[in-house]
Amino acid sequence: MKPYVAIVGKSKSGKTTIIINVIKEMKKRGYRIATVKHHNHHDHFDTEGKDTYLHYQSGADKTLISSPSAYGIFSRVKNELSLEDLINKCDDVDLVIVEGYRLTSSNRIEIVRSSRSEDRICQDDEVMATITDVNLSSEKPMFGLNDYEKITDFIESHLILLNHKTNN
């Protein structure tokens, strides 16, 4: 399976902000990145009223949208795909960054933000590291909320480079 990291934390803890900035750092280093975001709702997540939304709502099993610079595919499934299945669909990338999936992922980095809650959602032994502005006790690496380069260094050395060595 491709190397991946799951950024987990309570709602509104800053997961998306961390992911966006780690992506920017990874791209500066020349890596190809894919992302997976969990959507907890059973409704379709396309924009209501758009043509692709209407195609899907009319019963299409697959709806594709394409432009000169990107494409997307919406596929109906009988059961939600596992995180592993989703990661395996990410071709030609060096790393998959996952937002959420705190219960099914193993390579977790948790965000604990004081303005949201000082309580963790994972036990210390369930995470690779923690990103926080709270004084927590941990045997794992800790990063500040804006330490994007250090967070990227950690992910690169513990997942991408380690995976590269293992596969060569």
Q: Alpha-carbon distance 78 to 134, whole Å?
A: 42
With respect to residue 111, please indicate whether it lies within any of the assigned structural domains. yes
With respect to residue 74, please indicate whether it lies within any of the assigned structural domains. no
User: How many structural domains compose the chain?
Assistant: 1
With respect to residue 150, please indicate whether it lies within any of the assigned structural domains. yes
Other beta carbons within 10 angstroms of residue 38's beta carbon come to 15
With respect to residue 110, please indicate whether it lies within any of the assigned structural domains. yes
**CB–CB of 46/52 below 8 Å?**
yes
Look up residue 163 and give its two tokens. Answer: 């995976």
At 46-62, the pLDDT tens digits run 667 777 778 888 788 88
**CB–CB of 95/10 below 8 Å?**
no
Q: Is 42 a residue whose pLDDT tops 80?
A: no
Containing structural domain, residue 84: 4-40+79-167
At 65-92, the pLDDT tens digits run 888 998 888 888 899 899 999 999 998 9
With respect to residue 147, please indicate whether it lies within any of the assigned structural domains. yes
With respect to residue 99, please indicate whether it lies within any of the assigned structural domains. yes
**CATH code of the domain covering residue 84:** 3.40.50.300
Is the alpha carbon torsion for 36, 105, 84, 152 positive or negative? positive
Q: Alpha-carbon distance 133 to 146, whole Å?
A: 10
With respect to residue 59, please indicate whether it lies within any of the assigned structural domains. no
Distance of CA 72 to the CA centre of its chain: 18
At 105-153, the pLDDT tens digits run 789 999 999 999 999 999 999 999 999 999 999 999 999 999 999 999 9
pLDDT band at 158 (very low <50, low <70, confident <90, very high): very high
With respect to residue 16, please indicate whether it lies within any of the assigned structural domains. yes
Q: Alpha-carbon distance 25 to 10, whole Å?
A: 24
What's the pLDDT score for residue 30? 96
